[in-house]
Amino acid sequence: MTFIHTLATAWERNDSLLCVGLDPDPARFPAHLHGRDDAIFEFCKTIVAATADLVCAFKPQIAYFAAQRAEDQLEALIAHIHAAYPCIPVILDAKRGDIGDTAAQYAVEAFERFQADALTVNPYMGRDSIAPYLAYPDKGVILLCRTSNPGGSDVQALEVGGEQLYERIARLTAKEWNSSGQCALVVGATYPAELARVRALVGDMPLLTPGIGAQGGDIAAVVQAGQTRNGTGLILNSSRAILYAGADEHYAQFARQSAQAARDAINVQRTKS
C-alpha cells in the first residue's frame, strides 16, 4: 500500500488530521526514564501507544535521534509502529537534499534502513535531487515549500516572475515533479493565507503543516485555509505540545489528552462530506 493511500485510510479510520511529531529531548523526559539506554525508544513508544488511535501519522524528527547517537532506537521505534499500528504511516522528517548519487544513499537510509513510509526533502537542488526518492513507488516525498519559522521568508518569499518562491515550488511540484502522484508539500501553519494559496495551486495534494502546537498556529484558520473539499488533505503536526504536556510519570495520559483536544479542535473546523 502506498504512503498516500495509507494516509487517506488513516484520515478516515481515526477521523483525524493530527500528526504527532516525535522530537525526543532526554532533558525533558520524566525522571523514571533518566539514565536508561533505551529511554528515547521507551519515551516515544509510550507516546505512540497513548495517541495511535487519534492520529493520521507519526513524524519522528531524525536530528533528535542523531544528536543522541540513537539511530538504533529510531530503527526500533519505526519497526515497532509498523508492527503494532500498521495503519499509521511514519514520516521521517530529515529534510534531505543532495545530487542524484548521494540522494540515492539518503533514500536507502530513509526507506530501506529506517523503513519510513515518507521522507521530507529540500527542493533547493532541483528535480534530479528528488528523483532517487521517487524511484521507490510506494513511498511519499514531502518537499519543503513554505516553512513555519520566522526566517522562512528570507528565501521562500522572494519574488520570482510575479509570484513568491514558495508558490513556484508548489507549482513545479504539482505540474512537473509529481507525475507519479507520490509528492506532498510542507506548508507551515503560521501563514494561513499562504496555505490557502498553496492549496489553490496543488489541488488535493497532501500538505504537511507543522506549527499548530508550541509554535502557535491558529487551528481554525489553518483548517479552513488548507483542507480539501472533502475535509482532508492536511497532516497537522504537533510535537512539543503533546510530548511534554505532562512532565511526570503520567506523561502518557497528558499526551493523550493534549492529542485528543487537538484532534477535536481540528475536527470542529472540518468540512465533512
The residues carrying an active-site annotation are 95
Residue ranges in 47-66 that form contacts with a second copy under rule CB under 8 A? 61, 63-64, 66
Contact call for residue 179 and a second copy (CB under 8 A):
no
The amino acid present at 74, given as its one-letter code, is: L
Q: Which of 100, 181, 203, 216 binds a second copy (CB under 8 A)?
A: 100
Contact call for residue 217 and a second copy (CB under 8 A):
no
The H-assigned helical ranges of 1-86 are: 3-13, 39-51, 62-66, 71-84
Q: Which of 46, 115, 153, 269 binds a second copy (CB under 8 A)?
A: 153
All residues at 6 or more sequence positions from 112 whose CB lies less than 8 Å from its CB, including other chains: none
The amino acid present at 73, given as its one-letter code, is: Q
Q: Which of 149, 180, 253, 271 binds a second copy (CB under 8 A)?
A: 149
Contact call for residue 135 and a second copy (CB under 8 A):
no
Nearest to 133 by CA among 106, 93, 169: 106
Dihedral of CA 70/71/76/77: which sign?
Answer: positive
Per CB under 8 A, the segment of 6-14, 35-43, 165-173, 223-231 that binds a second copy is: 165-173
Contact call for residue 122 and a second copy (CB under 8 A):
yes
Using CB under 8 A as the binding criterion, the count of chain residues that bind a second copy stands at 51
Q: Which three cell numbers stand for residue 40?
A: 528515547
Q: Which of 10, 144, 241, 242 binds a second copy (CB under 8 A)?
A: 144
In order of 47, 54, 128, 191, 253, the CA distances from 249 in angstroms are: 12, 21, 47, 36, 9
Contact call for residue 150 and a second copy (CB under 8 A):
yes
Region for residue 181 given its phi and psi (left: phi exceeds 0; alpha: psi -120 to 50; beta: otherwise) = left
Which spans of this chain sit near a second copy (rule: CB under 8 A)? 23, 61, 63-64, 66-67, 69, 71, 95-103, 105-106, 108-109, 112-113, 122-130, 144, 147-156, 158-161, 165, 168-169, 172
